[in-house]
Amino acid sequence: MINDKLPKIWYGGDYNPEQWGPEEWSEDDRMFKLAGIDVATINVFAWALLQPDEETYDFSTLDATMDRLYNNGVYVCLGTSTAAHPAWMAKKYPDVTRVDVQGRKRKFGGRHNSCPNSPTYRKYSTRIAGKLAERYKDHPALLIWHVSNEYGGYCYCENCAKAFRVWLKKRYKTIENLNKAWNTRFWGHTFYEWDEVVQPSELSEEWDGNRTNFQGISLDYRRFMSDSLLECYKLEHDEIKKYTPKIPITTNLMGTYPELDYFKWGKEMDVVSWDNYPSLDTPISFTAMSHDLMRGLRSGQPFMLMEQTPSQQNWQAYNSLKRPGVMRLWSYQAVARGADTVMFFQLRRSAGACEKYHGAVIEHVGHEHTRVFRECAELGRELQQLSDKLIDARTQAKVAIVYDWENRWATELSSGPTVALKYVDEVHKYYDALFQLNIEVDMVSVEEDFSKYDLVIAPVMYMVKPGFAKKTEDFVSSGGTFVTTFFSGIVNENDLVTLGGYPGELRSLLGIWAEEIDALFPDQKNRIVMKQPWGELQGEYDCGLLCDLIHSEGAEVLAEYGDDFYQGMPVLTRNRFGSGQAYYIASSPEESFLQGFLSNLCAEKGIKPLVLAGDGLESARRVKNGNAYLFLLNHNASPAEVQIGEIEQKDLLTNETVKGTVMVPARGVMILESKLD
């Protein structure tokens, strides 16, 4: 339980009373009650208010807000306010603003705007975190700490350059090691002194965002920046812990956000929280995958849905309204996949600046007689009714998909063989196939314990870090099934190719050799031709993107290419290794192939779908104290039929008992409780 002061699914969101006055505050109090809101995230962007100059701190407004909320039955998720520095600080200490990837020194503006290696920023952000902790450590409203906000963005200033060199020295010890790791003999880039190293930016090695001359330095700069920002978090975290060792601390993450290695971040957080902002055209399974990934950051521990919009966003190109019922449906999707909170950005819409057209529980009209408010209040009532039933319940998946931020960086920094390879999309293809099959999945790091799983899938495992190959071999030896794909096993953690034949360290496990890698144009296809029917797979399927030209070195060939000069070469192989099996898919297949393929593997391993249902019906399950909670989420605009099996289950939202075939209403939700088998 995140904090047992509030033993239910927390309900609330970001709240900025400092933008308003007493009239609105009393309306807020009244309407929060109507909506069943019991937690407010405050003080997220209030640094300038708390600290009007270098030596003055003024907590009076915050004091009053804390007290008012508490007296009104609302707990506080307390921000440290350090996601945007005050204007006076930028003026007095220019080191707090960043230099961008084009080498331009930024001026005051925006948010997430502080250089993570700025001495000024580190000093004052830590100091204010400490002051807040000291002041509110015993305040009864305090539920959890929210450090900064949506950490992100990189800096390229001279302070960062110096810190980068220190980071490199720590990593490589000697300049010779660094030269080797980055292969600097290429293009004569040998460094003789540490201070010859400059940041990879548009002024040196990079262009167009992710293009680089040297993958090694660009990869390390991403690691360094992720670490630098994490260090800022940790400084605040450690300062707070001095005062409130038992109050949990989090910061809000952003799903598949590319710039930070969230698996490293997860380790430093008491509870993971994240902000979920799908577009109208984001696949439902992509949101589901993001939730599962956030849950995976701390090996399955429940997380917080820190932000979502009640209705509409402002920063997308076309900001559609969430259709009636969709806010509730997506809220339960989060809960189904491990969230123990449902929180919004924002409780009251601001009247000015760029987020004034972002949805809120209390809209500009200011009263409760809106569709959006009614839906929020209805959900508030349901969450109170659910009480602590679902809190702390866990998912029990037998299938894991490996996700790795460093691997993502490396594949996207690669010069060749194709610009079309998007790591996240390839991972999502596998996730989506399992999602459609109603199979539970955990999204895991390369460091996760694989022995919990029967099936581990590592799409495009391009970068094989130390120990990964051995660990995977152990998993398969012991009976596990492992799947990987084209463009895997190519490089080590420094993006240096493992010589002697692809897929490098995974070669003996997979029993194949990839001699060449063909890149297809977007309109080009090849075919996967099954050598003989296998379970749900027979005949042929399209594939594209990249085609590894592989030779079996012991693996059984299940399918061959159907076209081009490598027609007849293997495209799908299975290698028996110890008691288990390792599959290799040499190209990027169409969806129907993956559903058949993964269906076969699950059948072999005895992994059963949660339910049988058609398109748009999502299922998920959480387990606690011997009970299973099966979530049925109907994303269709019409009712959906679902076969849930013959055991009686109780719908927590209606208290009805059901079994066999149930109908889930259009955009409706069922949460079915049963004894765990």
Q: Consult the annotation and say whether 295 binds a ligand.
A: no
Tell me: is residue 30 an annotated ligand-binding position. no
Which C-beta is closer to a second copy: that of 191 or that of 243? 191
Determine which residue in the list 80, 276, 287, 311 makes contact with a second copy, applying CB under 8 A: 311
Query: CA 444, CA 428: separation in Å to the nearest integer?
Result: 13
**Nearer of residues 15 and 403 to a second copy, judged by Cβ:** 15
- Residues in 596-655 that interact with a second copy by CB under 8 A: none
Annotation marks residue 406 as catalytic: no
Q: How far is the CB of 131 from a second copy (least distance, A)?
A: 16
- List 188, 245, 606, 626, residue binding a second copy (CB under 8 A): 188
Residues 303 and 250 sit within 8 Å (Cβ to Cβ): no
Give min distance, CB of 32 to a second copy, in A.
18
User: Has 376 been labeled as part of a binding site?
Assistant: no
Q: Tell me if 420 sits within 8 A of 545, measured CB to CB.
A: yes
Which residues are bridge partners to 255 per DSSP? none
Write the DSSP symbol of residue 215. H
Q: Tokens 């004569």 label which residue?
A: 188
Using alpha carbons, select from 62, 72, 68 the residue that is nearest to residue 35: 72
Number of residues engaging a second copy in binding (CB under 8 A): 114
Q: Give dist(CA 649, CA 661) in Å, integer.
A: 12
Cα 623 from Cα 675, distance rounded (Å): 9
Would the annotation count 354 as a binding residue? Answer: no
Q: Which stretch binds a second copy (CB under 8 A): 229-237, 464-472, 517-525, 622-630?
A: 517-525
Nearer to a second copy, 225 or 662 (CB): 225
Report residue 548: phi and psi, to 5°: -75, 135
Residue 86: closest CA among 53, 120, 60, 43: 53
- Does 64 sit near a second copy (CB under 8 A)? no
Least separation, in Å, of the C-beta of 28 and a second copy?
A: 14
622 is in an annotated binding site: no
Identity of the amino acid at 465: K
Interface segment toward a second copy; rule CB under 8 A; list 44-52, 283-291, 300-308, 441-449: 44-52
DSSP for 353-391, please give it.
STTTTS--SB-TT-SS-SHHHHHHHHHHHHHHHHTTSST
Taking residue 498's Cβ as centre, other Cβ atoms within 10 Å add up to 18
Told to check if 519 binds a second copy by CB under 8 A, we report yes
CB 649 within 8 A of CB 665: no
Using CB under 8 A, which residues numbered 531 to 560 contact a second copy?
549
Nearest to 285 by CA among 397, 443, 457: 443
State in angstroms the smallest separation of the CB of 647 from a second copy.
36
- Binding to a second copy by residue 354, rule CB under 8 A? yes
377 near a second copy (CB under 8 A): no
> How far is Cα 216 from Cα 667, in angstroms, rounded to an integer?
48
Active site residue 150: yes
Retrieve residue 22's tokens: 């007493």
Which of 55, 187, 208, 626 is the binder for a second copy (CB under 8 A)? 187
Is 111 annotated to bind ligand?
yes
Part of the chain binding a second copy (CB under 8 A), chosen from 201-209, 239-247, 433-441, 462-470: 201-209
- Whether 547 has a binding-site annotation, put simply, is no
Minimal CA–CA distance to 408: which of 282, 260, 201? Answer: 260
For position 88 contacting a second copy by CB under 8 A, the verdict is: yes
The 3-class SS string of 54-108 reads: CCCCCCHHHHHHHHHHHHCCCEEEEECCCCCCCHHHHHHCHHHECECCCCCECCC
Stretch that binds a second copy, among 132-140, 200-208, 233-241, 533-541 (CB under 8 A): 200-208
| Contact indicator for 468, 503 with CB cutoff of 8 Å | no
Query: Which of 177, 210, 418, 636 is the binder for a second copy (CB under 8 A)?
Result: 418
Residue 624 beta carbon to a second copy: minimum distance, rounded to whole angstroms: 36
How many residues appear in the chain?
677
Nearer to a second copy, 200 or 589 (CB): 200
Q: What is the end-to-end Cα distance of the chain in Å, rounded?
A: 25
Q: Is residue 34 close enough to count as binding a second copy by CB under 8 A?
A: no
Instruction: Please report whether residue 677 would count as binding a second copy according to CB under 8 A.
Output: no
Radius of gyration over every alpha carbon of the chain, rounded to an integer in angstroms: 26
Q: Nearest 5°: phi and psi at 137?
A: -60, -30
Per-residue binding string, a second copy, 119-148, x by CB under 8 A, is ------------------------------
Torsion on CA atoms 168, 170, 171, 173, rounded to nearest 10: 90
Judged by CB under 8 A, the residue of 64, 166, 351, 647 near a second copy is: 351
In the bound complex, what is the minimum distance in angstroms from residue 99's beta carbon to a second copy? Answer: 10
Residue 617: closest CA among 438, 381, 390: 438
Among 103, 119, 466, 614, binds a second copy (CB under 8 A): 103
What does the alpha-carbon distance between residue 598 and residue 593 come to, in Å, rounded to a whole number?
9
How far apart, in whole angstroms, are the C-alpha atoms of residue 24 and residue 465? Answer: 54
Exactly one of 213, 299, 552, 600 binds a second copy (CB under 8 A); which one?
Answer: 213
Residue 612 beta carbon to a second copy: minimum distance, rounded to whole angstroms? 30
Catalytic residue among 236, 239, 307, 448: 307
Site for a second copy in 484-513 (CB under 8 A): 494-497, 499-502, 513
Does residue 526 interact with a second copy by CB under 8 A? no
Q: Is 21 in the site for a second copy (CB under 8 A)?
A: no
Of 556-585, which residues contact a second copy (CB under 8 A)?
565
Among 34, 377, 386, 419, binds a second copy (CB under 8 A): 419
Which of 249, 231, 208, 263 lies closest to 160, judged by CA?
231
- Can you say which residues are annotated as belonging to the binding site for substrate? 111, 149, 315
Q: Which residues are catalytic?
A: 150, 307
- Can you say which residues are annotated as belonging to the binding site for Zn(2+)? 115, 155, 157, 160
